[in-house]
């Protein structure tokens, strides 16, 4: 164990090393300043690949700083030219010094009102406190926009996207990576080819809440969980203000939810735990398990569950009032012995003939029941699976 004197010595050495490192980093940074009027255009063409942080300030000056955090800044040829529209920055490797990856970084200060065009062969873009039109693409890197206003048309080949505390229109896309849009007003659309797209407190210009699908829903609260993904598993640990989630294919797990849950997957199992309210869940093929622990205070109370192939289980609290509308379809090549598994008093009826109105021949088993006054409508549909309803 180190003595107090030894600990002090280690601390002083660490501080000294940090100071020396900071000095070295500062010495490697290049800086250039130019006159730049509000509303002008900044073009950033990072041919070799590199990241950019652009932040607005209250000066009619553009300050461009650049550094290489893992190599020599002299390995890069940086061209900065003024034109009638504003300013253009071009970054290329110095001949003979090309490396496999670039660690070039730009820190740019511009007047708050500024348009930006950005292109990089790999690297992130971060915009802070700006107002204007933002366009461009990166071959791979994150896109972050905070406290900005205007219109964005940006694309990443693969990287995270976040838009926070903005008033923004346009479209931002990533080939793969998570997307977060939070505290945003406007018609901005954000998409991912392979990651969760989550909206929190997003509203159009009329004040209506918006979800990742582009539609609006008055039931959404600023804290409602809104997730859309082209494919992959969705996990939500808690959703006290409700959840609306969709995946093109993958399992869905939602716990500690209240008010309402809407869950949809192209194929996969769904598990939902809801305090009370309404629940709608659908899967192209997979099991559905829903547990309701109380009636709650959600709007439009009701249960609608549907699976193209699989078992469905519904657990409700004792004394739950339900109007049951159940249907099991089974095909010729199935075991054809599917059933309603419940101790509740329900009436059942089966079809005699094969029905081809929905494609392949099917027979149906129907179940209905007015349980304790039928207060909550419960509609359950599945094919080649059982329906289980349990009071607990």
In three-state secondary structure terms, 219 is: coil
Does residue 78 sit within a domain? yes
Does residue 256 sit within a domain? no
Looking at residue 97, what is its pLDDT? 60
Angstrom distances, CA of residue 159 to CA of 127, 194, 234: 15, 10, 19
What secondary structure letter does DSSP report for 97? -
Q: Is the pLDDT of residue 73 over 90?
A: no
CB 198, CB 226: distance < 8 Å = yes
What secondary structure letter does DSSP report for 54? E
Does residue 260 sit within a domain? no
Domain limits at 132? 29-141
DSSP string, 119-144: EESS--EEEES-EEEEEEEESS--EE
- Number of H helices and E strands in the chain, helices first, is 1, 30
205, two tokens: 């210009």
Residue 123 CA to residue 66 CA, distance in Å, equals 14
Task: Give 342-367 pLDDT, tens digit per residue.
Answer: 999 999 999 989 999 888 899 999 99
Residue 298 CA to residue 296 CA, distance in Å, equals 6
Phi first, then psi, for residue 64 (nearest 5°) are -115, 120
Q: Is the pLDDT of residue 167 over 50?
A: yes
Residue with tokens 């090393």: 17
Looking at residue 163, what is its pLDDT? 98
Looking at residue 295, what is its pLDDT? 73
Does residue 389 sit within a domain? no
Buried b (16+ CB within 10 A) or exposed e, 206-224: eeebbbbeeeebebbeeeb
Going by C-alpha positions, the residue among 342, 352, 307 that lies closest to residue 322 is 342
Task: Give 217-234 pLDDT, tens digit per residue.
Answer: 666 888 899 999 988 899
Q: How many CB atoms lie within 10 A of CB 289?
A: 18
Residue 324 CA to residue 202 CA, distance in Å, equals 36
Angstrom distances, CA of residue 288 to CA of 155, 285, 313, 339: 36, 10, 6, 16
Task: Give 326-345 pLDDT, tens digit per residue.
Answer: 999 999 989 889 999 999 99
- Average pLDDT for 33-57: 95
Does residue 274 sit within a domain? no
Query: Which is more confidently placed, 291 or 104?
Result: 291
352: left (phi over 0), alpha (psi -120 to 50) or beta: alpha
18: pLDDT confidence band, cut at 50, 70 and 90?
very low
Does residue 147 sit within a domain? no
Q: How many CB atoms lie within 10 A of CB 262?
A: 19
22: pLDDT confidence band, cut at 50, 70 and 90?
very low
Residue 195 CA to residue 282 CA, distance in Å, equals 20
In three-state secondary structure terms, 192 is: strand
CB 275, CB 297: distance < 8 Å = no
Residues 6+ apart with CB under 8 A from 189: 170, 171, 172, 214
368, two tokens: 């209905």
DSSP string, 238-252: -BTT-EEEEESSS-E
Residue 279 CA to residue 162 CA, distance in Å, equals 29
First to last CA, the chain: 57
Number of domains, the chain: 1
Does residue 113 sit within a domain? yes
Does residue 59 sit within a domain? yes
Residue 74 CA to residue 233 CA, distance in Å, equals 45
Residue 150's DSSP bridge partners are: 132, 168
Q: How many CB atoms lie within 10 A of CB 280?
A: 18
């Amino acid at each position: 164990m180190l003595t107090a004197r030894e600990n002090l010595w280690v601390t002083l050495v660490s501080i000294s090393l940090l100071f020396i490192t900071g000095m070295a980093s500062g010495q490697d940074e290049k800086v250039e300043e130019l006159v730049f009027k509000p509303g002008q255009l900044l073009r950033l063409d990072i041919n070799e690949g590199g990241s950019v942080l652009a932040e607005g300030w209250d000066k009619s000056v553009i300050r461009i700083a650049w550094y290489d955090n893992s190599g020599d800044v002299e390995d890069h040829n940086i061209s900065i030219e003024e034109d009638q529209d504003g300013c253009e920055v071009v970054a290329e490797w110095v001949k003979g010094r090309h490396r496999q990856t670039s660690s070039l970084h730009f820190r740019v200060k511009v007047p708050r009102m500024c348009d930006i065009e950005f292109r990089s062969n790999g690297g992130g873009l971060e915009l802070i406190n700006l107002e204007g039109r933002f366009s461009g693409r990166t071959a791979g890197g994150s896109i972050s926009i905070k406290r900005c206003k205007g219109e964005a048309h940006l694309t990443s080949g693969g990287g995270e996207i976040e838009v926070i505390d903005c008033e923004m229109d346009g479209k931002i896309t990533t080939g793969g990576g998570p997307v977060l849009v939070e505290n945003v007003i406007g018609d901005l659309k954000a998409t991912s080819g392979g990651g969760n797209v989550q909206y929190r407190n997003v509203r159009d210009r009329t004040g209506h809440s918006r979800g990742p699908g582009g539609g609006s829903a008055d039931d959404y609260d600023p804290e409602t969980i809104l997730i859309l993904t082209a494919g992959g598993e969705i996990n939500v640990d808690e959703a006290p203000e409700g959840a609306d989630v969709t995946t093109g294919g993958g399992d869905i797990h939602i716990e500690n939810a209240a008010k309402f849950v809407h869950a949809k997957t192209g194929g996969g199992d769904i598990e939902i735990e809801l305090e009370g309210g309404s629940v709608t869940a659908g899967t192209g093929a997979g099991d559905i398990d829903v547990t309701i622990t109380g009636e709650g205070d959600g709007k439009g109370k009701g249960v609608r569950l549907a699976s193209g192939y699989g078992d469905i289980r519904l657990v409700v609290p004792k004394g739950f009032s339900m109007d049951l509308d159940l249907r099991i379809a089974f095909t010729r090549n199935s075991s054809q012995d599917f059933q309603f598994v419940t101790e509740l008093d329900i009436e059942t009826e089966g079809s005699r003939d094969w029905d081809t109105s929905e494609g392949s021949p099917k027979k149906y088993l129907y179940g209905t029941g007015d349980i304790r006054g039928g207060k909550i409508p419960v509609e359950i549909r599945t094919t080649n699976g059982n329906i289980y309803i349990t009071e607990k």
